[in-house]
Amino acid sequence: MTRDYPRDENPPVTVRHRPFALDLTRPLGTARGKIRSREGFVIAVERETGVTGVGEATPLPGWTESRDACATALDELDGRAEAEPPLESLNAEATPAARHGVSLALADAAARDAGERLADRLADGAGVESAPADAVPINATVGDAGPDETAAEARRAVEAGFDCLKLKVGARDVDADVERVRAVREAVGDAVALRADANGAWDRGTARRALDALAAFDLAYVEQPLPADDLDGLAALRERDPADGSGGGTGGGDGGGGVPIAADESVVDRGIDAVLDAGAADAVVLKPMALGGPDRALAAGLRARSAGVDPVVTTTIDAVVARTAAVHVAAAIPDVSPCGLATGALLDEDLAPDPCPIADGRIAVPAGPGLAGGAFDDLRRW
């Protein structure tokens, strides 16, 4: 029998962690370097009730702390019975991956103890009145290649059921990227939403030229066209008048030569409040691992929504435990836009079978309790 603790009462817990390493199917190029493997920690939190929650801390330097810093933070908690949740000793800015792993394990344990899905517990804790979704719309990501290959990959994604595609741009010159986007739009038609992700590759002048050229293709947004710390530049892109490419527009998603702007790296580097206060984005991309936990990612998403900015949830190429948690976060955001959660295929192996099937451009939210019922029971055993 389990004891049903009130939500404001926290039972004693014991924290444990162990390392893992997973190779990618092929190196993934990003603005912050190539990713060839993912190394992190599986975390188990056992409650006094005997219920164990599982979490994942998979640091990605440039987005989070280093693996060594993450390990040090977790070592300080390992094996200790805590009368209070151990989150107090974890700094979300200094060690976000460590905090993510512990906060996820705590939330999973609490949800399992209560017999509810993680998404329901997260939503209830954040004051969301509507019930979380049973499935979340997702985008497919189309990599950097020539126009013909990019268009062919886009067609395959649409044939697989996706109606939202994200194209990587910024690694080539603007004219080459424009031809790639043109080829994709012509290949998939007007009914498919297209996003472009520059990963902060452009300076202000290049971004202005790119947005003017890309306006013809009805993009949902261009993600991180400028470096992460250039919030004024992002705001200026949103305020531009598409008629003459100059300043003086009204912003609010109507600038950038007609192309809305999304912030990704800026949310991690500068914080959600700074991005919103600067008027730097029409959409924000939220990575729970980099933000310090599912609870913080959901809070950021709701804060953005209240400011009229669209939240999108994605991952830092995490293993299956953290990916599943990100699905729950997305499900807890009412009417969430397509999210970047179809990243499991980037890993050559994983910690466990994926409990979130993808069909027709949507990813299923596990029924629970907790993260995914018994799907991760082997990871809870020490």
For residues 32 and 265, give the distance between their C-alpha atoms in angstroms, rounded to a whole number.
Answer: 10
Tokens 């907790």 correspond to 370
Token pair listed for 349: 């192996």
287, 328, 362, 380: which one is catalytic?
A: 287
Place of tokens 């990599």: 143
Supply the DSSP string of 121-158, one letter for each residue: HHHHHHT--SPPPSEEEBPEEE-S--HHHHHHHHHHHH
Say how far apart CA 253 and CA 333 lie, in whole Å. 21
Report the alpha-carbon distance of residue 139 to residue 336 in Å, rounded.
12
Residue 287 designated active-site: yes
The two structure tokens encoding residue 266? 């800026």
Burial 313-343 (b: 16+ CB within 10 A, else e): bbbbbbbbbbbbbbbbbbbbbeebbbbbbbb
Decide: helix, strand or coil at residue 12.
coil
168 is catalytic: yes
Which stretch of DSSP H or E encloses residue 174? helix 174-188
352, 320 contact by CB (below 8 A)? yes
Distance of CA 180 to the CA centre of its chain: 25
Q: Which of 337, 345, 326 is nearest to 193 (CA)?
A: 337
Q: CA triplet 166, 34, 319: central angle to 5 degrees?
A: 70
Q: What are phi and psi of 6, to 5 degrees?
A: -60, 155
Residue with token string 């060839």: 36
Q: Catalytic residue among 67, 168, 180, 328, which?
A: 168
DSSP string for residues in 255-301: -GGG--EEESHHHHHH-HHHHHHTT--SEEEE-HHHHTSHHHHHHHH
Other beta carbons within 10 Å of 49: 18
Residues labelled as active-site residues: 168, 287
